[in-house]
Amino acid sequence: MIPHPRGAIWLLLLLLTTCAAPRGTGDLGLVIERSRGSVLIIEHSSDSVLHRIAGLGDLSHASVVYSRDGLYGYVFGRDGGLSKVDLLRGKLDKRIKQAGNSIGGAISQDGRLIAVSNYEPGGVRIFRASDLSSVVDLPAIDATGRPSRVVGLVDAPGQRFVFSLMDADEIWVVDASAPQEPTVTKFTGVGRQPYDALITPDGRHYVAGLFGEDGLVHLDLWNLDLGTKRILSGYGRGKRKLPVYKMPHLEGWAIAGEQAFLPAVGAHELLVVDTRTWQETGRVALLGQPVFAMAEPGGRHIWVNFAFPDNDRIQVVDSQSQQVVQDLAPGKGVLHMEFTPRGEKVWVSLRDEDRVEILRTSDFSRIGSLRAAQPSGIFFTVRSALIGL
């Protein structure tokens, strides 16, 4: 008996589907294409692009967090858009417009909640990660009734979110264990104009940079009763004030062992801080104003990129000697860097050359590059297992 050809085709398709090796998400990531409002789904094992997903709105200051399993990336757009991207299917699962101007977001410890920080109208909105339905709004209103832009939003242990009110000089800690009725602890008068913040990888210390004064502010999340404390006060004292061409960013990736390497606002240097005492222990002279200071996963080297006019350069600092050991010129418009999970490679976005450069960290040699439309942020799924990223 001769089998029907249509049945044979279906049998072949079934065999191909069942025999195809399933893939995980541990070596995937997203690259922001800011000029197109799109993202690239990439695989860093093969240094390749898998998909391009369009229709995500204004991504000029976009950031990403991941679901616990690394399946979904949540993209925070500058236009207030919140997008949920399916990395394995290569498609946009859902997108909502939750505000007029957004600056970033975080995912809760249990992975069930997405929090978004907003410039306009200000405040923080919390959504269910599963379907992006609204859970609660937290307007950032100070004691005088004035609304504030929100910056430095991070997740913290205990199902908490922590963020700073840039226009109110406050830090809020939100316990979202009961998300419809969150508990908010407010710290006022923390310092002039907090502009960004980091949380240490252990989830204990929250440190916000201050744009309105020389210094930073520290909050011990294990001991909230101690309140906030100014640290590194007057680090720019006695130096000529320089125009700030791009605000530096503080993230947990600046921690190497028991040291933090923090970009100084408007200065050509990194501040080296002992994370046990939060006292300054040294400085590293740089060629320009640092934007990102990022430690390799092992903590041996700190990679630093710069604001205009030095945004075609990267300097690599040895965390032991605290000296610049490598000066790189990968291309024009270096915006962001991201290390593979074990640190053997670093991906560098070159906005002005429409490409992503891939370098080997052991000898700083070039591995290759990928085309991307004005790339900015690069986010690998390893972040799904890290606090504050």
3-state secondary structure the chain: CCCCHHHHHHHHHHHHHHHCCCCCCCCEEEEEECCCCEEEEEECCCCEEEEEECCCCCCCCCEEEECCCCCEEEEECCCCEEEEEECCCCEEEEEEECCCEEEEEEECCCCCEEEEEEEECCCEEEEECCCCCEEEEECCECCCCCECCEEEEEEECCCEEEEEECCCCEEEEEECCCCCCCEEEEECCCCCCEEEEEECCCCCEEEEEECCCCCEEEEECCCHHHCEEEECCCCCCCCCCCCCCCCCCCCHHHEECCEEEEECCCCCEEEEEECCCCEEEEEEECCCCEEEEEECCCCCEEEEEECCCCCCCEEEEECCCCEEEEEECCCCCEEEEEECCCCCEEEEEEHHHCEEEEEECCCCCEEEEEECCCEEEEEEHHHHHCCCC
List domains and CATH numbers for the chain: 98-246 (2.130.10.10)
Of 48-62, 120-134, 237-251, minimum mean pLDDT range: 237-251
Q: Is the per-residue pLDDT at 308 higher than 90?
A: yes
Does residue 84 surpass a pLDDT of 50? yes
Quickly state the pLDDT bin for 266 (edges 50, 70, 90). confident
Asked whether residue 371 carries a pLDDT value surpassing 90, the answer given is: yes
pLDDT of residue 237: 52
Query: What is the per-residue pLDDT for 375?
Result: 98
For the residues 94-123, what does the mean pLDDT come to? 96
In this model, does residue 7 exceed pLDDT 70?
no
Q: What is the pLDDT of residue 9?
A: 57
Residue 246 is predicted with a pLDDT of 56
Confidence of residue 253 (pLDDT cuts 50, 70, 90): confident
Residue 15: pLDDT band with limits 50, 70, 90: very low
The confidence score (pLDDT) of residue 234 equals 83
For the segment 122-162, what is each residue's pLDDT rounded down to a tens digit? Answer: 999 999 999 999 999 999 998 889 999 999 999 999 999 99
Rounded CA Rg of the chain: 22
What pLDDT does residue 238 have?
Answer: 45
Q: Compute the average pLDDT of residues 25-35.
A: 96
Residues 6+ apart with CB under 8 A from 366: 330, 357, 358, 359, 360
Q: Considering only 5-14, 272-281, 314-323, which range has the smallest mean pLDDT?
A: 5-14
Whether the CB-CB separation of 73 and 30 falls below 8 Å is answered with yes
Q: What percent of the chain has pLDDT over 90?
A: 83
Summarised one tens digit per residue, pLDDT across range 165-219 is 999 999 999 999 999 999 999 999 999 999 999 999 999 999 999 988 888 999 9
CA-wise closest residue to 115 among 179, 168, 69, 60: 179
pLDDT (mean) for 222-227? 98
Q: What is the pLDDT of residues 270-291, one digit of tens each?
A: 999 999 999 999 999 999 999 9
Share of the chain above pLDDT 70, in %: 91
pLDDT of res. 250 = 79
pLDDT digits 0-9 by tens, 55-65? 999 999 899 99
Q: Which of 162-166, 244-248, 249-253, 274-278 has the lowest mean pLDDT?
A: 244-248
Please give the average per-residue pLDDT across 229-237, as a whole number.
Answer: 83
Average pLDDT over residues 342-351: 98
Contact at 8 Å (CB) between 173 and 224? yes
- On average, the pLDDT of the chain sits at 92
Lowest mean pLDDT among 14-28, 248-262, 343-357: 14-28
Locate 14 and state its tokens.
């079934």
Instruction: Tell me the whole-structure pTM to 2 decimals.
Output: 0.92
Between 22 and 224, the more confident residue is 224
Sheet with 170-175: list strands edge to edge: 150-156, 160-165, 170-175, 183-187
